[in-house]
Amino acid sequence: MPGKIVSVTSSSHFSTLLSQSTYTIVDFYADWCGPCKAIAPVFQSLAEKETKPGKLQFVKVDVDAQQEVARKYGVSAMPTFLVIKSSSVVETIRGANPSALTAAVRKAANDSGGSSPAVFQTKGRTLGSSSEPSRPVNESPLAGLQRLIVGNGGFSDIAVRFVALYVISLFAFDGFKAAENSAFNVRARR
Element at 164 (helix H, strand E): helix 155-171
Nearest to 57 by CA among 5, 114, 9: 5
Catalytic residue among 6, 36, 46, 108: 36
Q: Going along the chain, which residue ranges are E strands?
A: 5-7, 23-29, 56-62, 80-85, 88-94
CA distance 13 to 16: 5
CA distance 122 to 167: 57
Catalytic residue among 5, 30, 33, 78: 33
Residue 5 near residue 42 (C-beta atoms within 8 A): no
Based on the residue annotation, tell me whether 33 is a catalytic residue of this protein: yes
To 10 degrees, the CA torsion angle through 138, 143, 147, 150?
-120
CA distance 40 to 5: 11
Active site amino acids? 33, 36
